């Protein structure tokens, strides 16, 4: 029942490649005429150098390598193709297949990343389960069961079925049930893997009423999967809604999705009245009389949930706003948590609402917002922590203007309201760290700032806005993804605005990313929102670009500097980045999830860092002090802010400076560093940011001999160029070497025989690539750089620098600083470019390969 590699190739590419390219592939693969093959190779080499045809040419090379089981070569070409079209789903699928041929775990990591872009991919998901089947790891069982509830592809059902069949203790009985609130109909399928062609008996219960049914209908999904041709499906038409409905096999094993809450869909305006903006005076009267409902939805995460509730209860006495804490238990399976919540309710400290069956966030929250239709409401995630008079300040922000519909506070993890950087999550501060920061924000008492949309981790909604805009959309949005965004956009269409309370800080654990199996729900909801609000994406990007909260965040940070700055003779590390230090993507940030482990280690060695990037005539500088939580992050545009940077450095008074780069620090930045008061005598040191142990270890390495180079080349492996090709002298040296090779007609090189890998994209690399000897590497997200180098077959390093040059060691260390597991590369043999060229000439000119034994130097 599996799919062969050739069938898969046709499936993936039959509708994406031009006929001429397929003809070329046939010519290359099937022709027995050496002259024709050489002509095809020449044509393909030209196609690789053309911007218009390079993508298709890379695919041809990759397919050739796949059919020859040359997985490393195929991976290299497919990764290069993804640099041209990063979101080409078919190429992603083939790359995952090539990588998985050698390491299924690497393939799973890669597919996991690709699924962020194509969460419902009918190509990637089957590959995912095929590789999971190879690994036979039981840890994927729960993920497979969760995915079965969402999948609508027979091919994927089959691969999940095959995966579960490969696991010894996987469930034998599989079944899924869904409820359609529009028609009050329950549909689904159920099979026993021990006899999938036999119709299973099911039980259905609702309160004290129970019954039986047989899954003897044809299930289109199971039939298309080839699992059960004429049985397995069922359908139930309900007479009336039911709060609780449980479906199970006759032995009591529940179907996936059961129990169900078979309730009708609430319309957007159920129980709410149309309202216009109130006047400021009218709103003041209303807020003085009204109670606020603090709604805390709960399901799992016992420790975080109880910490959240205890923080809310501890803050009650600090707030003048009358409020009721309503805990919404969405059928939590945690009996201990249920017991703790029941105890708090019995003590009269909370109002406890437990749902008989899981409603999902949207339906749970809609019904909670209708409990008291005269109240403002606050959504509060169960993984948050509040402090002080948080609710008073949120309400003040909400009523600072009649047109404000919702308010979101600042948080370490709050999307647009994240602090210290927008849309960048940072670790959750401790209770004392949060209190210190929140008190400082409260004293500053900066006015609210407008945001494009709010964030549901802590979301204050005015009743007047709720009455006008309506409830959450539970009709078209699935379960609980993107609901606050849709509500905020709907509010925009009715003239409402949304605000950030920049004088409130709520800690938010977050970190609960959507599992792979649920990403499709996120994608579908996002598609609904984009279709309904076509300009939303453009408006969102415009807001992010202008960042109206930046001034407030900078004011808070400067207030923190005055309070937290300590002069304890720390070292300031200076780091150059090719990205703007002001775009939220600086590679050195301690809380950037995409940074390498080496960058985090650097921060651990010195908690004060300064990044700089040249932007035309401007210099963008970012100062990061990471031993506070959240980190202190300040941005500067030089030369305009040179005096401000100098004064800020004076407050921290670093004992010394260390540059993590060989590039000279710009004069303007050097002036600011030297001008700070305590550092007048400090010398700005230019040196590579490497440890002494690594320096000594690398400096003892010797360049390998020509005999070793011969062995490495004959094994069809790749060499990694570790020189800095942005250096004009080094670049010219490499151009001369490769040009000499290219002009030697006796060294005709096949299009799939590139020997050198370059990881640095500079103008000279494009010229080197034209030779066919050199290829620029692309490292798609999902695997670390060092894993990619292993996938590509890199077995040695090449440099044009002489052995006695210390520059070689420094430059190699700069490359290692980008890696998460640098020790994997430290053991690779190092070959000088001159020896490498000689070995390549000998190797290509050999008419017949001779067996190469492992040289003593490697052994």
Give pLDDT tens digits for 755-810: 899 988 888 888 888 888 889 999 999 998 889 999 999 988 888 875 444 344 44
Phi, psi dihedral angles at 797 (to 5 degrees):
-115, 145
Cis peptide before 259 (omega within 30 of 0): yes
CA–chain centroid gap for 73, Å, is: 27
Cα–Cα distance measured from residue 691 to residue 822, given in angstroms and rounded to the nearest whole number: 13
Which of 63-67, 109-113, 587-591, 843-847 is predicted most confidently? 109-113
Give the pLDDT band (50/70/90) at residue 665. Answer: confident
Torsion of CA 14, 18, 24, 27, to 10 degrees: 40
Q: What pLDDT is recorded for position 571? A: 80
Q: What pLDDT is recorded for position 697? A: 38
More confident residue, 217 or 814: 217
Q: How many CB atoms lie within 10 A of CB 587?
A: 17
Residues 6+ away with beta carbon under 8 Å from 299: 329, 330, 331, 332, 358, 382
Cα–Cα distance measured from residue 142 to residue 161, given in angstroms and rounded to the nearest whole number: 13
Question: If you count them, how many residues does the chain have?
Answer: 859
For the residues 179-203, what does the mean pLDDT come to? 96
For the residues 184-212, what does the mean pLDDT come to? 95
Q: What pLDDT is recorded for position 573? A: 83
Does 671 have pLDDT greater than 80? yes
Considering Cα of 251, then 256, then 260, then 264, what sign does the dihedral take?
negative
Confirm if 425 and 412 have CB atoms less than 8 A apart: yes
Environment class of 89 (CB within 10 Å of its CB; exposed 0-12, middle 13-18, buried 19+): middle
Which own/partner pairs from 723-731 qualify as long-range (CB within 8 Å, at least 24 positions apart)?
723/799, 723/800, 723/801, 723/808, 723/811, 724/662, 724/760, 724/811, 724/814, 725/758, 725/760, 725/762, 725/764, 725/765, 726/760, 726/762, 730/800, 730/801, 731/762, 731/764
Confirm if 603 and 403 have CB atoms less than 8 A apart: no
Residues 466-508 have pLDDT tens digits of 999 999 999 999 777 889 999 999 999 999 999 999 999 999 9
Does 821 have pLDDT greater than 90? no
pTM over cut 0.85 = no
More confident residue, 239 or 627: 239
Counting Cα atoms < 13 Å in the Cβ hemisphere of 556 gives 30
SS3 682: coil
- Per DSSP, helices labelled H in 115-236 are 124-135, 141-148, 154-165, 220-225
Residues 6+ away with beta carbon under 8 Å from 857: 704, 705, 707, 708, 829
Counting Cα atoms < 13 Å in the Cβ hemisphere of 112 gives 16
Which of 16-20, 594-598, 724-728 is predicted most confidently? 724-728
Residues 298-331 have pLDDT tens digits of 999 999 999 999 999 999 999 999 999 999 999 9
Give the pLDDT band (50/70/90) at residue 516. Answer: low
Residues 14-70 have pLDDT tens digits of 434 444 444 555 555 555 467 766 777 777 778 888 888 899 989 988 988 888 889
Give the pLDDT band (50/70/90) at residue 251. Answer: very high
Does 277 have pLDDT greater than 60? no
Q: What pLDDT is recorded for position 661? A: 57
Q: In the chain, what is the straight-line distance between the N-terminal and C-terminal CA atoms, in Å?
A: 45
Residues 6+ away with beta carbon under 8 Å from 170: 138, 141, 164
Does 517 have pLDDT greater than 70? no
Considering Cα of 23, then 24, then 30, then 32, what sign does the dihedral take?
positive
């Amino acid at each position: 029942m599996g799919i062969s590699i050739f069938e898969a190739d046709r499936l993936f590419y039959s509708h994406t490649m031009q006929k001429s390219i397929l003809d070329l592939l046939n010519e290359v693969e099937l022709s027995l005429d050496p002259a024709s093959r050489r002509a095809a190779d020449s044509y393909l080499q030209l196609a690789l150098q053309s911007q218009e045809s390079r993508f298709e040419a890379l695919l041809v090379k990759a397919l050739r390598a796949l059919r020859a089981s040359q997985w490393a070569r195929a991976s290299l070409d497919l990764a290069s193709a993804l640099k041209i079209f990063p979101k080409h789903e078919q190429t992603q699928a083939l790359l995952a297949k090539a990588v998985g041929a050698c390491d299924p775990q690497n393939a799973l990591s890669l597919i996991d990343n690709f699924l962020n872009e194509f969460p419902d991919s009918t190509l990637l998901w089957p590959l995912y389960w095929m590789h999971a089947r190879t690994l036979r790891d039981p840890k994927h069982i729960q993920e497979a069961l969760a995915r079965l509830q969402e999948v609508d592809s027979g091919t994927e059902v089959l691969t999940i079925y095959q995966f579960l069949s490969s696991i010894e203790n996987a469930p034998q009985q599989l079944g899924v049930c869904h409820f359609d609130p529009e028609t009050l109909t329950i549909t689904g399928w159920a099979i026993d893997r021990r006899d999938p062609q036999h119709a299973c008996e099911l039980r259905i219960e609702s309160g004290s009423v129970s019954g039986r049914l047989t899954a003897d209908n044809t299930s289109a999904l199971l039939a298309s999967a080839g699992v059960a041709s004429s049985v397995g499906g069922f359908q139930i038409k309900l007479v009336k809604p039911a709060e609780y409905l449980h479906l199970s096999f006759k032995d009591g094993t529940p179907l996936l999705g059961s129990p169900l809450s078979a309730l009708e869909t609430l319309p957007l305006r159920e129980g709410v009245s149309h309202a216009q903006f109130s006047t400021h005076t009218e709103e003041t009267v209303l807020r003085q009389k009204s109670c606020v409902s603090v709604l805390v939805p709960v399901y799992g995460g016992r420790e975080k949930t109880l910490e959240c509730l205890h923080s809310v209860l501890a803050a009650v006495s600090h707030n003048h706003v009358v409020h009721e804490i309503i805990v919404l238990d969405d059928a939590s399976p945690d009996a201990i948590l249920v017991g703790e919540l029941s105890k708090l309710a019995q003590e009269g400290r909370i109002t406890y609402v437990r749902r008989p069956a899981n409603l999902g966030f949207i339906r749970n929250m809609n019904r909670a917002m209708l409990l008291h239709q005269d109240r403002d409401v606050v959504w509060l995630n169960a993984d948050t922590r509040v402090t002080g008079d948080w609710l008073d300040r949120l309400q003040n922000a909400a009523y600072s203007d009649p047109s404000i519909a919702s308010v979101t506070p600042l948080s370490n993890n709050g999307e647009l309201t994240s602090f210290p950087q927008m849309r960048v999550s940072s670790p959750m501060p401790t209770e004392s760290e949060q209190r210190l920061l929140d008190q400082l924000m409260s004293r500053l008492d900066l006015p609210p700032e407008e945001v494009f949309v709010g964030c549901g981790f802590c979301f204050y909604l005015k009743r007047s806005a709720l009455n006008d805009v309506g409830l959450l959309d539970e009709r078209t949005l699935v379960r609980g993804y993107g609901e606050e965004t849709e509500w905020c956009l709907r509010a925009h269409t009715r003239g409402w605005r949304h605000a950030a309370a920049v004088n409130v800080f709520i800690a938010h654990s977050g970190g609960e990313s959507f599992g792979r199996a649920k990403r499709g729900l996120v994608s579908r909801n996002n598609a609904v929102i984009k279709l309904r609000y076509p300009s939303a994406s453009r408006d969102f990007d415009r807001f992010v670009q202008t960042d109206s909260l930046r001034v407030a965040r900078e004011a808070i940070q400067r207030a923190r500097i005055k309070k937290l700055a300590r002069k304890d003779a720390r070292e300031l590390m200076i780091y150059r980045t090719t990205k703007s230090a002001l775009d939220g993507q600086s590679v050195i940030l301690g809380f950037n999830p995409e940074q390498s482990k080496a960058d985090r280690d650097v921060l651990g060695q010195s908690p004060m860092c300064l990044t700089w990037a040249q932007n035309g005539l401007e210099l963008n500088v970012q100062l990061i002090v990471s031993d506070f939580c959240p980190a202190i992050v300040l941005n500067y545009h030089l030369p305009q802010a040179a005096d401000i940077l100098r004064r800020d450095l004076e407050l921290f008074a670093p004992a010394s400076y260390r540059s993590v780069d060989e590039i000279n620090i710009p004069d303007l930045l050097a002036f600011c560093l030297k001008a700070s008061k305590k550092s007048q005598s400090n010398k700005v040191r230019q040196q590579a940011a490497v440890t002494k142990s690594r320096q000594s270890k690398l400096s003892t390495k010797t360049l390998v001999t020509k005999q070793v180079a011969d062995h490495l080349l004959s094994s069809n492996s790749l060499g990694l160029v570790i020189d800095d090709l942005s250096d004009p002298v080094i670049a010219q040296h490499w151009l001369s070497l490769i040009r000499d090779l290219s002009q030697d007609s006796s060294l005709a090189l096949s299009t799939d025989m590139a020997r050198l890998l370059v990881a640095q994209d500079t103008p000279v690399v494009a010229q080197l690539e034209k030779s066919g000897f050199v290829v620029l590497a692309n490292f798609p997200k999902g695997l670390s750089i060092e894993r990619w180098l292993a996938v590509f077959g890199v077995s040695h390093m090449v440099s044009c620098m002489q052995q006695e040059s210390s520059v070689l060691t420094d430059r190699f260390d700069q490359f290692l600083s980008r890696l998460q597991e640098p020790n994997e590369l430290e053991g690779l043999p190092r070959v000088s470019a001159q020896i490498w060229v000689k070995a390549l000439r000998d190797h290509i000119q050999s008419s017949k390969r001779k067996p190469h034994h492992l040289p003593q130097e490697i052994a």
